[in-house]
Amino acid sequence: MTAATQPAGLVADHLRCERGGRLLFADLCFAVAPGGALLLTGPNGAGKTSLMRVLSGLLPARAGRILWQGRDTVEEPGPWRRALAWLGHDNAIKPQLSVAENLAFWSRLGASGHSVPEALEETGIGHLADLPAAMLSAGQRRRLALARLALTRGGCWLMDEPTVTLDSASLARLGTMIARHRADGGIAVIASHDALDLPGAQALDLGALDTARA
């Protein structure tokens, strides 16, 4: 299947990534259609975060292409940047700003589709809106980071370990949030150790690629 026949969604085409002289993966191909989800699994060091960073564009791939809606994300980064919502290990929260101010900044920076109160409500931290972010617990900070993704409608969510420090109620809420996003035609690529309820999601086990490495 070539990119020409698969224009919609996110397509990885023979990706190769090396970190520190070590080959993490090569000839990695997958396609996620709108409304779809991809769950990345694998042991620590298997390359989940590296793959996420390659997909986002933070880390250049050694070989291969990434296509968003049929367009190369390196040659034409514009559409990909507008569609992309990134959740990394760090929450990108400024402790000096209030919860709502933190979100409002990202909303002005291009994450649009849902309003700040809607995003806060969806992640269940609406009652904390006026609190300085420095007062939040680790789990609440993670939910604030998730609220940044909830600002967007459609597009592609790249979530690296989204469940870290979340309690069980928040986990359920995260599941609902991802389901809503996919129902809107969005795509979610998720690297996680936790069992997330993702109906119809594709799975990619980076640990299972081990044999190809020798």
Partner 1 sequence: MNAFLAIIGRDLRLATRRGGEAALTLGFFVVAITLFPFGVGPEPELLGRIAAGIIWVTALLAATVSFDRLFRADMEDGTLELLALAPLPLELAVLAKAIAHWLLTGLAVTLLAPVMGLMLNLPEAAYGPLVAGLLLGTPALSLLGGIGAALVLGARRGGALVGLLVLPLFLPVLIFGISAVEATLIGLPLAPHLLILGALLAVALPVGVFGSAAALRLALE
Residue range at the interface with partner 1 (CB under 8 A); choices 10-18, 95-103, 169-177, 178-186 = 95-103
The residue within the footprint of partner 1, chosen from 7, 14, 74, 94 (CB under 8 A), is 94
The residue within the footprint of partner 1, chosen from 25, 68, 86, 157 (CB under 8 A), is 86
Question: What are the residues facing 202 on neighbouring strands?
Answer: 38
Residue range at the interface with partner 1 (CB under 8 A); choices 33-41, 107-115, 185-193, 200-208 = 107-115
Which residues in the 184-203 window bind partner 1 by CB under 8 A? none
In angstroms, the CA 51 to CA 47 distance is 6
92 near partner 1, judged by CB under 8 A = yes
The secondary element (H helix, E strand) that includes residue 87 is strand 84-87
The residue within the footprint of partner 1, chosen from 20, 21, 78, 200 (CB under 8 A), is 78
- Record the tokens describing residue 169, joined without a space: 């109620």
Residue range at the interface with partner 1 (CB under 8 A); choices 61-69, 74-82, 122-130, 186-194 = 74-82
| 66-69 CB contacts, 8 Å cutoff, 24+ apart | 66/10, 66/11, 66/12, 66/13, 66/15, 67/3, 67/6, 67/10, 67/11, 67/12, 67/13, 68/9, 68/10, 68/11, 68/156, 69/7, 69/8, 69/9
Nearer to partner 1, 86 or 192 (CB): 86
The residue within the footprint of partner 1, chosen from 21, 60, 199, 200 (CB under 8 A), is 60
In angstroms, the CA 186 to CA 199 distance is 14
Nearer to partner 1, 20 or 199 (CB): 20
Nearest distance in Å: CB 151, partner 1: 12
Contact present, 210 and 45 (Cβ < 8 Å): no
In angstroms, the CA 177 to CA 169 distance is 12
Q: What is the 3-state secondary structure (H, E, C) of 103-123?
A: HHHHHHCCCCECCHHHHHHHC
The residue within the footprint of partner 1, chosen from 105, 113, 153, 164 (CB under 8 A), is 105
Nearest distance in Å: CB 57, partner 1: 7
Residues that bind partner 1 (CB under 8 A): 56-60, 78, 81-82, 84, 86, 88-94, 96-97, 101, 105-106, 108-110
